[in-house]
């Protein structure tokens, strides 16, 4: 029987396959299996019949969230400490709670437990090497990082904590930790003197400032003889409960089965084939919201103007240039359960853009006539049919932020307005942080300054509650 391996495919095909696999959260091999299954018209075709040489069973299984069950995906990184033996029990506790689980073991962890036992309990072969040719080609540390809702480090040793605080990436565990913007929970475990050391305190403070959550360490007897104090890893049940609470707070899985449309970025309105009117929006906030909604299990369509930020993982991104194109793209995505209009849409376009480049003429400055663009938010919010149940607008203001936002809520007819001050001195436009006020019919909530990712997660959690009828 003829046999073909992915390595033999031509470069373009490999590239397309890699992209497709990444988009679907599958290994390349599994993507091929899926394509073949579809082509042969059945799910019951024995996998061996594909004659695809299986280079790595580890990479072959999908780590996809099942939309119906919305199982949350946890990547458990096991560090090298005596508490690693408790991580095996932790795997069982997490599985009991319905988490999909993948494990990464550091080299030191393998001195205490084996990848085989972690793999057997989690139901997925455990990952160990950054430069494992098969694993890296099929899964890769970037996809390991992306394909999880939560990354849990247990035990988090003093060394692993120091590496995280310093941004090291010299093995698979630290490379995954640096390549992620997902929720991170760590369960420190170390000798009490190491825990009390100033260096550890500095590193832990840094991790907390970076938004990483801790569970434990607890006080008590250490596994080592005659050692007691603070440094004992939290119990597996405690860690599993903390993971569950964290994911619940972030609204994880709570948007399963919901369809959400998000607009993001600026629009470009052409003056002629080479010039355009634009604004300073980076798309960071809108893209972060789309990513957070996808993480929460929603089916997300992101309609994006021209931006330099990458397309979020697991989201269908529709790229447009002008306000009118954005409007049409949004219309095409309806019906949806929720619309989030974060784009900085140009209010006007040039009435008659030049078909050719407008030439400079002596003593004659061109006059540009502007016409108003469709107001996407207001039109969608006032729709009689196909109006999303929850319509959320943004208000970019430079003065009287809350008062202007309240007025916008009324005249746009939307349900919520997320208002922010985009005066140049705030650094919000184009920056990584945001200070917002959530304006609803019930009142105004002023949120603390936080990263745009955190704003996105908090907003998604609120949306999940609203769509579930909790608020
Ligand atoms: N918006 C839209 N379509 C437009 C203009 C704005 O969908 N043509 C949306 C934005 O995405 C945002 C909200 O309306 O959610 C408010 O945008 P903003 O620029 O703050 O307000 P404008 O309506 O443009 O009013 P102004 O510029 O006068 O403040």
Strands 450-451 and 150-156, by their bridges, are: unpaired
**Which ligand 1 atom minimizes the distance to the CA of 417?**
15
With a 6 Å cutoff on the Cβ, whether 322 touches ligand 1 is: no
Least confident interval from 21-30, 131-140, 246-255: 131-140
With a 6 Å cutoff on the Cβ, whether 373 touches ligand 1 is: yes
pLDDT band of residue 48 (cuts 50, 70, 90) is: very low
Q: Each residue of 173-212: pLDDT tens digit? A: 999 999 887 889 999 999 999 999 999 999 999 999 888 9
Chain Cα centroid distance, residue 123: 24
Domains of the chain, each with CATH number or no CATH: 73-249 (3.40.50.1950), 259-349+369-468 (3.40.50.10300)
pLDDT band of residue 5 (cuts 50, 70, 90) is: confident
State the average pLDDT for the chain.
Answer: 85
Q: In the predicted model, is pLDDT for residue 60 greater than 50?
A: no
279: annotated active-site residue: yes
With a 6 Å cutoff on the Cβ, whether 277 touches ligand 1 is: no
| pLDDT score recorded for residue 250 | 66
| Cβ pair 256, 297 in contact under 8 A | yes
Q: Each residue of 132-168: pLDDT tens digit? A: 655 544 456 677 777 788 999 999 999 999 999 999 9
Using the mean position of ligand 1's atoms as its centre, give its distance from the Cα of residue 17 in Å. Answer: 39
| pLDDT score recorded for residue 163 | 97
Using the mean position of ligand 1's atoms as its centre, give its distance from the Cα of residue 275 in Å. Answer: 23
Given 191, 203, 279, 434, the catalytic residue: 279
| pLDDT score recorded for residue 40 | 58
Using the mean position of ligand 1's atoms as its centre, give its distance from the Cα of residue 272 in Å. Answer: 24
**Which ligand 1 atom minimizes the distance to the CA of 323?**
8
| pLDDT score recorded for residue 470 | 60
Using the mean position of ligand 1's atoms as its centre, give its distance from the Cα of residue 395 in Å. Answer: 7
With a 6 Å cutoff on the Cβ, whether 375 touches ligand 1 is: yes
Least confident interval from 65-79, 163-177, 267-281, 355-369: 65-79
| pLDDT score recorded for residue 55 | 28
**pTM score:** 0.59
**Which ligand 1 atom minimizes the distance to the CA of 263?**
11
| pLDDT score recorded for residue 62 | 45
With a 6 Å cutoff on the Cβ, whether 323 touches ligand 1 is: yes
With a 6 Å cutoff on the Cβ, whether 391 touches ligand 1 is: no
| pLDDT score recorded for residue 133 | 52
**Which ligand 1 atom minimizes the distance to the CA of 395?**
20
* pLDDT > 90 fraction of the chain, expressed in percent and rounded: 58
| pLDDT score recorded for residue 59 | 38
Q: Each residue of 380-436: pLDDT tens digit? A: 999 999 999 999 999 988 889 999 999 999 999 999 999 988 877 777 777 788 889
For residues 352-373, average pLDDT? 92
| pLDDT score recorded for residue 44 | 37
Residue nearest to atom 16 of ligand 1 (CA): 395
């Amino acid at each position: 029987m003829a046999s073909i391996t992915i390595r033999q495919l031509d470069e373009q095909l490999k590239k397309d396959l890699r992209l497709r696999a990444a988009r679907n959260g599958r290994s390349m091999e599994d993507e091929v299996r899926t394509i073949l299954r579809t082509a042969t018209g059945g799910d019951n075709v024995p996998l061996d019949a594909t004659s695809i040489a299986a280079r790595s069973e580890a990479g072959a299984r999908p780590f996809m969230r099942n939309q119906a069950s919305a199982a949350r995906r946890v990547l458990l990184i096991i560090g090298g400490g005596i508490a690693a033996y408790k991580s095996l029990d932790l795997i069982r506790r997490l599985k009991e709670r319905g988490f999909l689980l993948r494990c990464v073991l550091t080299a030191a962890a393998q001195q205490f437990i084996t990848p085989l036992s972690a793999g057997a309990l989690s139901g997925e072969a455990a990952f160990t090497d950054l430069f494992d040719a098969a694993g890296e080609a099929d899964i890769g540390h970037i996809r390991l990082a992306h394909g999880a809702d939560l990354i849990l480090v247990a035990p988090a040793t003093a060394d692993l904590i120091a590496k995280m605080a310093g941004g090291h990436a010299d093995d698979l565990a630290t490379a995954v930790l640096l390549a992620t913007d997902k929720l991170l929970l760590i369960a420190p475990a170390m000798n009490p003197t190491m825990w009390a050391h100033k260096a550890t305190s500095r590193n832990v403070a840094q991790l907390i400032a970076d938004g990483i959550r801790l569970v434990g360490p607890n006080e008590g007897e250490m596994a080592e003889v005659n050692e007691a104090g603070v440094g004992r890893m939290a119990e597996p049940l405690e860690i599993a409960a903390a993971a569950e609470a964290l994911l619940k707070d972030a609204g994880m899985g709570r948007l399963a089965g919901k369809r959400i449309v998000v607009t993001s970025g600026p629009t470009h309105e052409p003056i002629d084939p080479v010039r355009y009117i634009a604004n300073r929006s980076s798309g960071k906030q809108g893209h972060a919201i789309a990513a957070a909604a996808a993480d929460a299990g929603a089916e997300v369509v992101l309609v994006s103007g021209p931006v330099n930020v990458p397309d979020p993982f697991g989201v269908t991104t529709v790229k447009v240039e002008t306000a009118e194109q954005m409007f049409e793209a949004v219309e095409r995505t309806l019906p949806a359960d929720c619309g989030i209009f974060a784009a900085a849409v140009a209010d006007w376009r040039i009435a008659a853009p030049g078909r050719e480049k407008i030439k400079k003429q002596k003593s004659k400055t061109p006059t540009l006539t502007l016409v108003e663009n469709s107001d996407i938010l207001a039109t969608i919010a006032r729709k009689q049919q196909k109006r999303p149940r929850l319509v959320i607008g943004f208000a970019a203001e430079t003065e009287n932020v809350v008062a202007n936002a309240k007025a916008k809520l009324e005249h746009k007819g939307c349900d919520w307005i997320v208002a922010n001050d985009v005066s140049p001195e705030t650094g919000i436009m184009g920056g990584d942080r945001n200070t917002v006020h959530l304006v609803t019919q019930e009142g105004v909530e002023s949120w603390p300054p936080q990263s745009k990712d955190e704003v996105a997660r908090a907003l998604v959690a609120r949306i999940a509650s609203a769509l579930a009828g909790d608020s």
